[in-house]
Structure 1
Amino acid sequence: MSTPHRDHTAHRHSHGPACGHDAVPHGDHVDYAHDGHLHREHQGHWDECEPSRHVSHQGHEHQHGEGCGHRPVQHGDHVDYLHDGHRHARHEGHWDDH
């Protein structure tokens, strides 16, 4: 999935293992959940790390929620669940793959 390059210009905080924000593995990098956004380091600055299009996770029968065993991460106006290296978000009766 391609991720648009959206520079988070007002981001002065440096994320890392002890910064206090949830680290979210995402492909070949780590995103950090911060104030309802996901940030990733990119060439000396921080990007907003968001999918560029809607991607439905086909065949996902597991229902995420409290006690499901997957870590919840606040993401804007909803909660994503970390599952097998992906973020899943409930969307119109199915799960999206973020």
Structure 2
Amino acid sequence: MSTTQHQEHAAHAHAHGPGCGHTEVPHGDHVDYAHDGHLHREHRGHWDECEPAGHAAHGTHEHRHGEGCGHARVAHGDHVDYLHDGHRHAAHDGHWDDH
């Protein structure tokens, strides 16, 4: 899996946490919060955009995500990610990416 870029979300005044109203997304050693089509994570007293660096295809993903598949949907930029086994999957050029 690719590493995550450090991109501070400087104008983010909202404090995310349990019960804040945004979808919690487990991501490695932290939790991201889906907000306005992107993901935020707390990092050293500020909020970062939590986006993968590069392209990481999930080559062995057989399950087809879609409406009613049983996995939570998270709006992410111009597409929808599906929460599955502690990470996000997104359709890309005939395969699934691991975000």
TM range (shorter): over 0.9
Q: Aligned pair 1:10/2:25, yes or no?
A: no
Match runs of 1:1-98 below 5 Å: 1-98=2-99
Q: Which runs of 5 or more structure 2 residues have no equivalent in the other structure?
A: none
Give, in angstroms, the shift of residue 4 of structure 1.
Answer: 0.8
CA offsets, 1:57-85, max 9 Å, x none?
A: 01111100011111100001100000000
* Secondary structure in structure 2 of the residue aligned to 1:21: coil
1:44 and 1:90 map into 2 onto residues whose CA distance is: 33
TM-score calculated relative to the size of structure 1: 0.98
1:18 and 1:70 map into 2 onto residues whose CA distance is: 20
Give, in angstroms, the shift of residue 28 of structure 1.
Answer: 0.5
Identity of aligned residues (%): 76
Give, in angstroms, the shift of residue 92 of structure 1.
Answer: 0.4
2:5 and 2:53 map into 1 onto residues whose CA distance is: 6
CA offsets, 1:14-68, max 9 Å, x none?
A: 0000110000000110000000010000000000000001000011111000111
TM-score calculated relative to the size of structure 2: 0.97
